[in-house]
Amino acid sequence: MIEPKYDTFWERLLAMFVDGLIFWPFRFVDNWFCQNHTSISRGTLLAWSIIYPLLVVTYSVVMHGKYGQTLGKMATKVKVVDISESPLSMSQALRRDSIPIILILLGTAIDGPKILSGSSIIYGGSFHPGTPFYVVLFYFIVGVGCIGWSLSEIVTMLFSRKRRALHDFIARSVVIRCADHPENR
């Protein structure tokens, strides 16, 4: 049985949607980059491919580290706290997003040189007929890995007594309803 203060699945899902809306305008910019990749300098493409994902992660880390909540979590009245239910530290907030940060750095290390050489498949959206099989396989594995990470996050959260996802275990954090937090009583 899940204690009501930890039963936050739907609130977290809605918070993720709200936070996604905050970054929705950036999708237009990203789509513009994708559609115009041949007329944009490679340095600009590389910078955008780093800045865009880091904006999202930075928002998450800073908001969780400073307030224990993103704007989405504020709207849905849930808060991320230390497992002891004391305030979350900036270090814990960073650990919560460590996997996305690693994936961004790994993706940049792998695709950055390709973007700079003009051979990246990120911009343009498809593989050209001469793309080596190992490149296609790599992107397939990365895609499956990202989906696998996301599914494991959901499964872990659904079967955890305190609804803790993998990133909560990494950071020693838990998400609770704001009304159940001592500072809100």
Residue 113 has what pLDDT?
A: 80
Kindly report the number of other CB atoms within 10 A of residue 19's CB atom. 19
Predicted local confidence at residue 94, as pLDDT: 97
Low-confidence ranges of the chain (pLDDT < 50): none
What is the model's pLDDT at position 108? Answer: 80
In this prediction, residue 17 carries a pLDDT of 94
pLDDT in the model for residue 36: 78
At which residue do the structure tokens 């706290």 appear?
Answer: 81
Does the predicted TM-score (pTM) go above 0.85? no
What local confidence, expressed as pLDDT, does residue 21 receive? 95
pLDDT at 177: 94
Per-domain residue ranges of the chain: 4-184
- Provide the pLDDT for residue 124: 54
95-139 pLDDT, tens digit each: 999 998 988 888 788 778 877 877 665 555 566 666 677 777 777
DSSP string, the chain: ---GGG--HHHHHHHHHHHHHHTHHHHHHHHHHHHTGGGS-HHHHHHHHHHHHHHHHHHHHHHHHHHS--HHHHHHTEEEEETTSSBPPHHHHHHHTHHHHHHHHHHHHHHHHHHHHT--STTTSS--TT--HHHHHHHHHHHHHHHHHHHHHHHHHHHSTT---HHHHHHTEEEEEGGGSGGG-
The rounded distance, in Å, linking the Cα atoms of 55 and 72 is: 16
Task: Please tell me the distance from the alpha carbon of residue 109 to that of residue 161, in angstroms, as a whole number.
Answer: 38
Characterize 76-112 residue by residue with b for buried, 16 or more Cβ atoms within 10 angstroms of its Cβ, and e for exposed. Answer: bebbbbeeebebbeeebbbbbbeebbebbeebbeebb
- Alpha-carbon 80 to chain mean position: 15
